[in-house]
Amino acid sequence: GQNIDQPTEMTATEGAIVQINCTYQTSGFNGLFWYQQHAGEAPTFLSYNVLDGLEEKGRFSSFLSRSKGYSYLLLKELQMKDSASYLCAVRDQDNQGGKLIFGQGTELSVKP
């Protein structure tokens, strides 16, 4: 079966660092995505990992370990606008590389 797990909710303080974890068990693996979604809005792409290791993009970094079926999204220097839902998604081993399987999302609240 296909299963992607993330914590439902997290709270952090403005200026701090927060790590959002994602574990997955899928029939195949061809990359992992993180999306950000503000309430009532469309998801927007944050990061992509297909090889093990850390990908850094400004205040956001994403890590992947394929052997452990594990990823995390690291947000540094948190700002109030980072309050949003963060979605982990795995692209399964599909011939045409297009389908994503999403976790339920982690609702992050940033407090002053």
Partner 1 sequence: DADVTQTPRNRITKTGKRIMLECSQTKGHDRMYWYRQDPGLGLRLIYYSFDVKDINKGEISDGYSVSRQAQAKFSLSLESAIPNQTALYFCATSDSALAGIYEQFFGPGTRLTVL
100 near partner 1, rule: CB under 8 A: yes
**Residue 79 and residue 111: Cα distance in Å, rounded?**
9
Q: Sort 15 into a burial class: Cβ within 10 Å, 0-12 / 13-18 / 19+.
A: exposed
Candidates 3, 99, 109, 111: give the one binding partner 1 (CB under 8 A): 99
**Residue 22 and residue 98: Cα distance in Å, rounded?**
20
Count of residues in contact with partner 1, rule CB under 8 A: 23
Closest distance of CB 37 from partner 1, Å: 9
Local structure of residue 11 (DSSP, 8 states) = E
40 near partner 1, rule: CB under 8 A: yes
C-alpha torsion sign, points 37, 41, 107, 101: negative
- By CB under 8 A, the residues from 58 to 97 that bind partner 1 are 87, 89, 91, 96-97
Closest distance of CB 108 from partner 1, Å: 15
Site residues for partner 1 per CB under 8 A = 8, 31, 33, 40-45, 48, 87, 89, 91, 96-105
